[in-house]
């Protein structure tokens, strides 16, 4: 039986999904890893993959496609760019996997792009030909699908919508070095910053926050009528709706999917976001639907598996 693997590469472990070629997720395992830069580390990965197969009645020869998502740029040719937050030798890992899984097509995919592909394969976007996934987490990532295909970009920056400029008057710099990026207001960090600033301005006491990305507490405060929380979420919706209006003037997607950690609070801000988008977009684009993503943290694992399978 032909099988597909989707490998979500994180900083301290990788999560592996074993899929059928039709996209059902048959098993998941986590393999603890450190830096993935030596033959020993590559062997930990390939042994983990083989163990997962053995436990599920499979062999390496069954595997026809293996996708790997990485937290960094991957260009249209599948080449991995600079990885800032993770120690990984992509060529080395690829060669090691290729040796142990000789039938498999291998593909690297950027993590937010992979999440978009996952939603396309088995999530909310199933069957859609044009949509944009916006993953709101520590940062704001994105994946653009047009004509049913992922737009990775010539330099791996396709779907970098967290870096659409939404405020030309901003004086503080974004992580990318530019100023006024969407990510500065609509990421978990941006929402927390917006909340703190609003508390200061209003002279109110902020609720206790568990670190610089704790939007859960802010959404709870919002539910309790906290004015500063309302300000922070409204600011997020306004800038996000504005950025989406710019995206619509470029690829004009049918659907926007909101995912990532902050995507979980979607129902609390969906209407406000829809209103903001319609306020800013070109008239014909106002029919674009804005929906929550459905695969949660598994989306990228699905998506990189799908990419490797599609490329065969």
Binder among 250, 271, 275, 297 for a copy of itself (CB under 8 A): 250
User: Can you count the helices (H) and strands (E) in the chain?
Assistant: 9, 10
76 part of the interface to a copy of itself, by CB under 8 A? yes
Contact with a copy of itself (CB under 8 A): which of 104, 240, 245, 257?
245
274 binds a copy of itself (CB under 8 A): no
Q: How far is the CB of 125 from a copy of itself (least distance, A)?
A: 12
- CB-CB neighbours of 41 under 10 Å: 18
80 binds a copy of itself (CB under 8 A): no
Binding of a copy of itself at residue 238 (CB under 8 A)? no
Query: Of 248, 299, 302, 309, which one interacts with a copy of itself (CB under 8 A)?
Result: 248
By CB under 8 A, tell whether 17 contacts a copy of itself.
Answer: no
Q: How many CB atoms lie within 10 A of CB 240?
A: 27
Name residues whose C-beta falls within 8 Å of residue 278's C-beta, 6 or more positions apart in sequence: 241, 286
- CA–CA gap between residue 145 and residue 40 (Å, rounded): 37
| Position 157 contacts a copy of itself (CB under 8 A) | yes
Helix, strand, coil percentages, rounded to 5, for the chain:
45, 20, 35
Does the footprint of a copy of itself cover residue 21 (CB under 8 A)? no
**Torsion sign (Cα): 161, 296, 88, 173:** positive
How big is the CA angle at 143 (ends 84 and 286), to the nearest 5 degrees?
140
- Give me the sign of the Cα torsion angle 281, 289, 133, 154: negative
How many residues bind a copy of itself (CB under 8 A)? The answer is: 45
- Which candidate, 275, 245, 241, places its Cα nearest to that of 258? 241
253 near a copy of itself, rule: CB under 8 A = yes
With respect to a copy of itself, which residue has the nearer C-beta, 250 or 275?
Answer: 250
| DSSP classification of residue 272 | H
- Round to whole Å and give the CA distance between 177 and 172: 9
Q: Binding to a copy of itself by residue 239, rule CB under 8 A?
A: no
Strand partners, 229: none
Q: Does 176 bind a copy of itself (CB under 8 A)?
A: yes
Q: Between 93 and 182, whose beta carbon lies closer to a copy of itself?
A: 182
- Does residue 207 interact with a copy of itself by CB under 8 A? no
Comparing CB distances to a copy of itself, the nearer of 21 and 310 is 310
Contact between 287 and a copy of itself by CB under 8 A: the answer reads yes
- Does 252 interact with a copy of itself (rule: CB under 8 A)? yes
The number of C-alpha atoms within 13 Å of 248 and in the hemisphere containing its C-beta is: 23
Question: What do you get for the CA distance between the two ends of the chain, in Å?
Answer: 16
Site string for a copy of itself, 208-227 (x = CB under 8 A): --------------------
> By CB under 8 A, is residue 288 in contact with a copy of itself?
yes
Q: Which listed residue (41, 45, 135, 164) binds a copy of itself by CB under 8 A?
A: 164
In the numeric block, the tokens 């603890």 are attached to 32
What is the contact mask toward a copy of itself in residues 128 to 147, using x (rule: CB under 8 A)?
A: -xx-------------x-xx
By the criterion CB under 8 A, which residues form the site for a copy of itself?
73, 76, 81, 129-130, 144, 146-147, 149, 151-161, 163-165, 168, 176-178, 242, 245-254, 280, 282-285, 287-288
């Amino acid at each position: 039986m032909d099988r597909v693997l989707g490998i979500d590469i994180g900083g301290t472990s990788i999560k592996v999904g074993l899929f059928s070629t039709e996209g059902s997720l048959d098993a998941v395992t986590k393999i603890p890893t450190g830096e993935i830069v030596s033959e020993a580390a590559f062997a930990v990965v390939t042994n983990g993959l083989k163990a997962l197969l053995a436990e599920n009645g499979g062999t390496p020869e069954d595997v026809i496609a293996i996708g790997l998502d990485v937290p960094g740029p991957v260009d249209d040719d599948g080449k991995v760019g600079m990885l800032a937050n993770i120690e990984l030798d992509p060529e080395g890992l690829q060669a090691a996997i290729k040796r142990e899984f000789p039938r498999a097509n291998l593909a690297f995919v950027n993590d937010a792009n992979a999440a978009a592909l996952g939603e396309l394969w088995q999530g909310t976007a199933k069957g859609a030909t044009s949509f944009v996934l916006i993953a709101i987490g520590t940062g704001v990532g994105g994946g653009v699908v047009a004509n049913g295909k992922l737009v990775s970009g010539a330099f791996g920056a396709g779907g970098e919508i967290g870096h659409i400029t939404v405020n030309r008057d901003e004086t503080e710099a974004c992580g990318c070095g530019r100023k006024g990026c969407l990510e500065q207001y609509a990421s978990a960090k941006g929402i927390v910053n917006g909340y703190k600033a609003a508390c200061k301005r209003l002279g109110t006491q902020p609720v206790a926050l568990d670190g610089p990305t704790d939007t859960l507490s802010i959404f709870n405060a919002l539910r309790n009528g906290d004015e500063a929380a309302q300000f922070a979420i409204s600011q997020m919706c306004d800038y996000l709706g504005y950025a989406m209006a710019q995206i619509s003037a470029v690829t004009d997607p049918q659907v926007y999917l909101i995912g990532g950690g902050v995507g979980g609070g979607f129902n609390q801000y969906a209407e406000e976001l829809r209103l903001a988008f319609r306020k800013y977009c070109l008239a014909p684009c106002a029919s674009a639907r804005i929906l929550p993503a459905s695969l949660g943290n598994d989306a990228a694992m699905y998506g990189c598996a799908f990419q490797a399978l599609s490329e065969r």
